[in-house]
Amino acid sequence: MMHEDNLDHREEGNTGVFRPKKQLDCTLFEILSEIGGEICVKVAEELYNINKSEITDEELAEICDINKNVVRKILYILYENKLSDYRKEKEKKKNWWIYYWRDNFDNVRSFIKLKQEQVIQKLTLRMEYEDNNVFHRCENEECRYLAPFEEAMELDFRCPKCDSSLNHFENGNVKEFLREQIAFLRENIKHCI
């Protein structure tokens, strides 16, 4: 027996036939939660379950029982992340634009690939920083202040937090970790397409 919350109570045409609501994929659910929170998930679920190919932001706001400006903001967040799309049409009487929205959740793999590429860029920059610097760390295990050589030299190799000595720190483990993460993400991208 299907739980009542999983039924779509909107009519399909005039038939009055109920149909089960489509559930968001767990990966997509997590992505939506991350980029826009609970409200984003709610708007996305309703957008995913519309009975037609597209819906206006005002209709969607009414279905979700959420302020239309909040719904528009969420729709634009989805659009910026390539998870929704729209077309606009000029309303003749009032001379303003009406936006018709549709989900683009099939694009979730591209979204994941883009985010992984952004992480690779950041990790690569960090790797260059690690490669191009020599570090010194506070000998006090509770403090562990870390400084590049130039900063440590300006501090006379004394910790600015606890006044302990700043000693050479070998960052080979950090670089190895960064290399592994970059390789892992590059491999994931190959399989994401």
What is the pLDDT at residue 173? 95
Question: What mean pLDDT do residues 82-106 have?
Answer: 90
Rounded to whole angstroms, the maximal C-alpha distance in the chain is: 81
- Please answer whether residues 190 and 113 qualify as being in contact, where contact means their C-beta atoms are separated by less than 8 angstroms: no
Whether 13 shows a pLDDT value over 60: the answer reads no
Provide mean pLDDT across the span 39-52.
90
What's the burial of 60, exposed, middle or buried (CB within 10 Å: 0-12/13-18/19+)? buried
Predicted model pTM: 0.62
Helix (H, G, I), strand (E, B) or coil at 76: helix
Question: Do 56 and 84 form a contact (C-beta atoms < 8 A)?
Answer: no
Query: How many distinct helices (H) and strands (E) make up the chain?
Result: 6, 8
126-135 burial string, b = 16+ CB within 10 Å, else e? ebeeeeeeeb
Q: Does residue 5 surpass a pLDDT of 60?
A: no
User: What's the residue count for the chain?
Assistant: 193
pLDDT in tens, 100-123: 999 988 888 888 888 899 999 999
Rounded distance, CA 55 to CA 87, Å?
10
Q: Which tokens hold the place of 39? A: 């409200």
Residue 19 pLDDT grade (very low, low, confident, very high; cuts 50, 70, 90): low
- Mind listing the domains of the chain with CATH numbers? 4-103 (1.10.10.10), 109-192 (no CATH)
